[in-house]
Structure 1
Amino acid sequence: MFLIEGTEKALLVDTGMGKGNLKGFIKNITDKPLEVVITHAHGDHIGQANQFEEVYMSDKENELIDLFKMKIDLANFRNIKDGHIFDLGDRKLEVIEVPGHTPGSVVLLDAANKLLFSSDAIGTGHLWMHIPGTLTLEQYLESLRKLAERKAEFEKIYTGHLMEVGNEPLDLEYFDNIVYLVEQVLAGELEGKEYNNGPFPGLYVEKGKALLVYNPDTIR
């Protein structure tokens, strides 16, 4: 979860999974008009979304609400697409669709400050591509290559679970390693080991800080 404040507005990126008064908590931090965006519809990112009057999220994520039987009312949700700009005054964040981890995953690019808010779209050390609702690795590689075309516009990557990587942003080497791992698995050059950290079985490969978990049945 991130709160990004500009001179005119603030943007809340994801709404966590707790049951507290997130809206009230945010009001104690900023009195600026607030926009809310959900990067993807997993329970640890969308949990308190219904506290807010208007929420942006790709409608490609709606199927996950049903898949995971989440009690989320979508009446106040607005579809978001590639290229949407959140204009906060002195800061602008561009939405880039990166389907893979989920069908409608998005990242937010703050090109002026060379920052990418990626949530779980490229993982936080561990990238889960083996759980229900993910796309194939082949489809995901298309998304990564599209994002790689914008690589000159960001240097620091703020992921969705920074505590897992020492509460520090990741860098372009991490991104390059994720791309490498996906390419090598697809090419048959890397064979994964059994992954048991989580509710769903999978195989994993790793390079540097990047660890890709995948389902061998959904490579293509």
Structure 2
Amino acid sequence: MIDHDWFSVRQLAEKTYAISEWGHWEKVHSFLLIGQDKAALIDTGLGIATIKEVTDQLTDLPICVLTSHVHTDHIGSHAAFDDIYVHAADEAWLKNGIQGRTLEQIRFDLTRDLTSDLPAYFDLEGFVPFMGEASGLLRDGQLLDLGQRLVEIIHTPGHSPGHVAFLDHQTQFLFTGDVLYTQTPVYAFYPSTSPEDLVTSWEKLSRLPKIAKVFGSHNQLGIEPSILDEAGRAAAFLRQHELVHWGSGLHEFGQLSVKF
């Protein structure tokens, strides 16, 4: 049992955990993969509470943070860790700040439409998104060895230039960040997004073999791998009907939707 007043933890497989913030309207998930020598933490959540308070209860191994992309809801506890990795195309955002969002907008979105009480210690007026140097850069096709456990990096731009997904070779779980999830639209309508890149990323993911389960970073926790076929069909439809551009609106395909 994990003791925390903000995060919930669910074990997905042996030494594999989802750390969720269900009380926030975005329903954010981070993921901890534990190897023999070290652990990988995929994203660090909103920053309303420090996720290290949870990971310290799950492992005493060194933890490297794998950043799916540099948006506020994925880098909230980065400051609590020393070993942080990001794709080169998002590195400048990590170092200098996220493009296109004011601090006032970020603070407003952080605490609106909550279904759980904020922790008493959370200071909204003092909240500032993490900015700092990366320990290293992630690249497409790279294999990270956690010790008897390999994690593959898959560059999946569109939602951000440096967005990456992660394939855990031990479980065949695919962690898709914000490029693929269900229940609310995937977003690619901001100036910093690319509809063309997002559709290309869906096509890329749809070709991956032998995926056991898909885990997006929001909403439903655990999606059947058939969502990847659905993403491939959606990409083909969007291209055929010349809808892959900003302003074409909301497009729905069964359990998958996207807004350009």
2:50 corresponds to 1:21: yes
Q: Give CA-to-partner distance per residue, 1:102-122, whole Å, 9 cap, x none.
A: 111101112342210111122
Q: Distance in 1 between matches of 2:248 and 2:81?
A: 36
Give the Å deviation of 1:56: 0.3
* Secondary structure at the counterpart of residue 61 of structure 2: coil
CA distance in 2, matches of 1:111, 1:22: 25
Structure with more helix by fraction: 1
Instruction: Please name the residue that 1:42 is paired with.
Output: 71
Q: Structure 1 stretch 97-106 or stretch 3-12: which is displaced more?
A: 3-12
Counterpart mapping for 1:108-123 below 5 A: 108-123=166-181
Give CA-to-partner distance per residue, 1:120-139, whole Å, 9 cap, x none.
1223342112233111x333
Quote the offset at 1:178 in angstroms.
2.2
1:181 to 226, 234, 239: 234
SS of 1:147 mapped into structure 2: helix
2:193 pairs with one of 134, 137, 140: 134
- Does the alignment pair 1:31 with 2:60? yes
Q: Alpha-carbon deviations, 1:10-62, whole Å to 9, x = none? A: 11110111243322331122111211111001110011112211200112113
SS at 1:130's partner residue? Answer: coil
Alignment partner of 2:165: what SS? strand
Gaps of 5+ in 2: 1-29, 103-127
Q: Does the Cα contact within 8 Å between 1:124 and 1:160 map onto a contact in 2?
A: no
Q: Confirm or deny: 8 A CA contact 2:75 2:129 kept in the other structure.
A: no
Q: Normalising to structure 1: TM-score of the pair?
A: 0.80
Task: Please tell me whether residue 9 in structure 1 is matched to residue 38 in structure 2.
Answer: yes
- Relative to structure 1, the CA distance from residue 180 to residue 58 in structure 2 (aligned partners, 3 Å threshold; closer, same or farther) is same
| Structure 1 residue 147 displacement after superposition | 2.9
Distance 1:77 1:59 in 2: 12
Distance 2:86 2:74 in 1: 11
Structure 2 CA distance for aligned equivalents of residues 184 and 76 of structure 1: 38
- Taking the aligned partners of 2:60 and 2:242, their CA distance within structure 1 comes to 52
State the distance in 2 between where 1:85 and 1:207 align.
32
- Give the equivalent residue in structure 2 for 1:160: 217
When residues 22 and 189 of structure 1 are mapped into structure 2, their CA distance, relative to the original with a 3 A threshold, is closer
SS, match of residue 53 in structure 2 = helix
Q: Which runs of 5+ in 1 are unaligned?
A: 192-200, 215-220
Inter-partner Cα distance in structure 2 for 1:147 and 1:45? 21
Cα drift, residue 63 of structure 1 = 4.7
Question: For residue 116 of structure 2, what is the aligned residue in structure 1?
Answer: none
* Matched residue, 1:196: none
The separation in 2 between residues aligned to 1:111 and 1:92, in whole angstroms, is 6
CA distance in 1, matches of 2:181, 2:92: 21
1:60 to 80, 89, 99: 89
